[in-house]
Amino acid sequence: MTDPACIIGIDIGLKGAIAFTWWRHQMSAEGHEDRHLLKACVADLPHKDLWHRRSLDTLALQGLIEDKCSIAPAVVACESPVLTYGNLAQSGKSMATAITNFGRMTCVLESLFWEDRVFFIAPNTWKAHVGVSKDKNEAIRLATEIFPCQADRFSEKAKNGKVSIKDGRAEALLIAYYAMNNLWLPNRG
């Protein structure tokens, strides 16, 4: 049996989140690989207003990662923004914000971790591997199945009584799940 491995998944959107998952890897007597989820937690990405735009708060993000991850993570999987002409034509301002936040995220991750442990994954890649489409409700349903202990974190009641869906939290957990199955090499740490 190996020591637990921390695998981080990040949904980089404006409603994005960061998931911390801890897994244990062991080989069965028959020689089969077995991975068990030990613990999971998820939080919204910290933001602040910067130049009249909602921007990733890099210092708060660094503090959150250092607080939650006492051991160096085995894998950090971050969703990369989709850059297409259709997206740029629809909302150039929001695409500029996404690119800026992605650059800020990259700086934080590469300053904290070895480059060979940080992976940037296109949304269509991880979604195809875990079996969800663009439908946010599918992501929430699957994340609830895989991470039932986090199911209550996918919606939140505001002070005005309205319920907001936190699909970024579900997607961050699914990105960590994708990383555990496709990027983590247990013998590397």
In tens, the pLDDT along 20-69 reads: 998 887 777 777 777 788 889 999 999 888 777 778 899 999 999 888 87
CA distances from 77 to 65, 142, 176, 183 (A): 13, 18, 7, 8
| Tokens (6 digits) for 170 | 């579900």
3-state SS assignment for residue 133: coil
Q: Higher-confidence residue: 73 or 89?
A: 73
Instruction: Give the range of the structural domain holding residue 60, as residue numbers without chain letter.
Output: 5-188
Instruction: Give which of 181, 184, 146, 182 is closest to 171, Cα–Cα.
Output: 146
- The distance of Cα 107 from the centroid of its chain, to the nearest Å, equals 16
Instruction: Find out whether 23 and 35 touch, Cβ atoms under 8 Å.
Output: yes
- The residues, ordered by sequence, that sit 6+ positions from 116 with a Cβ below 8 Å of its Cβ are none
| Tokens (6 digits) for 143 | 């994340």
Residue 110 pLDDT level (bands cut at 50, 70, 90): confident
- The residues, ordered by sequence, that sit 6+ positions from 22 with a Cβ below 8 Å of its Cβ are 4, 5, 6, 7, 37, 38, 39, 40
Domain count for the chain, please give it.
1
What's phi and psi for 175, nearest 5 deg? -65, -40
